[in-house]
A and B are shown apart, each in its own frame.
Chain A
């Protein structure tokens, strides 16, 4: 330990490159993760942050809220299914609306305020009590008392919700009746199927099968939102590839360091240093370099997060930071571990004879 620590302390210059590389990699991975989290949370809030544990869709919709249509009979069937404690229709309408000062892209969610599928993250105010009221996601920027107009319908904002957006659009939580009126205004083609809803939000854990109906957990409902799973898997594969690169960079760095110190390591072994001790020193150095890299990368990533405009959906979560920190440390240790064999192979006998 004495060797490993003093080498970093007195020869920090040699370690600047690896610490720099690990800082940049951590920065990249954390920023990508923030984007991945931001996209995921922004897309799925409306189905994740509610009291529903599952959603039922028409089977042909493949889990898409917008594509799904459920008749009143199907809603009742879901309600009556074993294991369901509460079931309420949910209607969704992606459209534009007017606020007091500007126009917005909105995701209108029609729900039963006393039923399932209502947002649980109220930061201010309350849920709508009648058809003239609505709660809106904080990302809309509206305040309590503001009026929003969609088509010919107007609602007053009575509550603000957090983390409840849908496909990165701010949600407006209204009653099913208000949602229906808005939809009929902006989508006249729905005339005739007015009693239908898009999906059924469920509390409880439904058992058994209902013909023509697919039940997905709230988590899977989020993943089924178009683009969410694809985005997540694309970004995650970039993140994991980058972490693998981190391990390789560390492996290369320590391979070089060990190569450069062959003569010294041979002498140290001749003096009676166990190989284990030399190996532990290299791993410790990798952990220290990775830890410094994580701290620097995290600070840089947070600094970037503070200056990116709100339109870029980034979300810095402590859980993500902790798991990325662990991944980078593990990558460092794995990388350094590649040098262990090299260290073990150094023959102490080469310290004598001096033809090195």
Chain B
């Protein structure tokens, strides 16, 4: 891999705080967010005062080695963990203020997740996997959901595989179904966790490319956690997290590794 692989679509190396302020229209605002775990009498700062803003239609990468806090950060953004400090606002909703029940609803309706290993329901077909998440929300009606699932499968090149269960699909196809599932409920934000971990380079590229295209076309906002520098070329901006400290980078330092 060479430096040429990394072509940030949106250059910017500003201080993250001012960066957050400059994004007046930001759909996602993460302000001074921390997560502290206490084990015994030692405090572990998994995430320390992270601040970031992401505009609607942006697809950003969150880079960092394992244990850097990137998982913790996106779990907090996705309403899976509650921060110990700071605020997270998604399209006007203060995520930290939501109750456990509201968070479940929030995740179903406002956030789309793409997990590391697709994590599809093994006993549902590709189409049913998409339809399943539509049963968790109330904004899209049943009929509309069916049409939407078919359209997504078509777009993702899965129309012929709609009636197959995950076991009958290839790794790339599974990850594409997972992308469809993430888009199914028309969320404000799509969180992608190491989508290429279980795929080879070529398939990984295809999946991320497809993901970037879908996010762009639909005017969605996406955050992708990855440690794979080859994938950042499909994103608009790159954030890096090291030992819990989030920075907005032009040239990811990890590139030097």
Do A and B associate with each other? yes
Spell out A's residues near B (CB within 8 Å): 2-3, 6-7, 9-11, 263-264, 267-274, 348-349, 351-354
Question: Is A352 touching B78 in the complex (CB atoms < 8 A)?
Answer: yes
In the complex with contacts A7-B123, A10-B123, A263-B119, A270-B113 CB distance below 8 A: yes
Checking A2, A9, A264, A270 against B107 with a beta-carbon cut-off of 8 angstroms, the contacting residue is A270
Number of A-B residue pairs, CB cutoff 8 Å, is 81
A-B contact pairs, 23 of them (CB 8 A): A2-B128, A6-B123, A6-B124, A10-B123, A11-B123, A267-B115, A270-B115, A271-B107, A271-B133, A271-B136, A272-B104, A272-B107, A272-B108, A272-B109, A272-B111, A348-B80, A349-B80, A351-B113, A352-B71, A352-B74, A352-B75, A354-B115, A354-B194
Q: How far is the CB of B87 from chain A (nearest CB, A)?
A: 19
Cα distance, A2 to B7, chains bound together (Å): 44
Q: How far is the CB of A259 from chain B (nearest CB, A)?
A: 15
Question: Is A354 touching B193 in the complex (CB atoms < 8 A)?
Answer: yes
What chain B residues lie within 8 Å of A269 (beta carbons)?
104
Cα distance, A267 to B178, chains bound together (Å): 11
Question: Is A270 touching B136 in the complex (CB atoms < 8 A)?
Answer: no
In the complex with contacts A3-B132, A270-B80, A354-B116 CB distance below 8 A: yes
What chain A residues lie within 8 Å of B119 (beta carbons)?
263-264, 267, 351
4 further interface pairs, Cβ-Cβ under 8 Å (given A3-B124, A272-B137): A269-B104, A349-B81, A353-B193, A354-B197
What chain A residues lie within 8 Å of B133 (beta carbons)?
271-272
Question: Is A2 touching B109 in the complex (CB atoms < 8 A)?
Answer: no
Question: Is A352 touching B80 in the complex (CB atoms < 8 A)?
Answer: yes
Cα distance, A2 to B127, chains bound together (Å): 13
What chain B residues lie within 8 Å of A264 (beta carbons)?
119, 121-122
Question: Is B121 touching A272 in the complex (CB atoms < 8 A)?
Answer: no
Chain B, range 82-117, C-beta contacts under 8 Å to A: 101, 104-109, 111, 113, 115-117
What chain B residues lie within 8 Å of A351 (beta carbons)?
80, 113, 115, 119
Closest to A273 in B: B136
Cα distance, A271 to B132, chains bound together (Å): 10
What chain A residues lie within 8 Å of B128 (beta carbons)?
2, 6
Checking A6, A273, A274, A354 against B101 with a beta-carbon cut-off of 8 angstroms, the contacting residue is A274
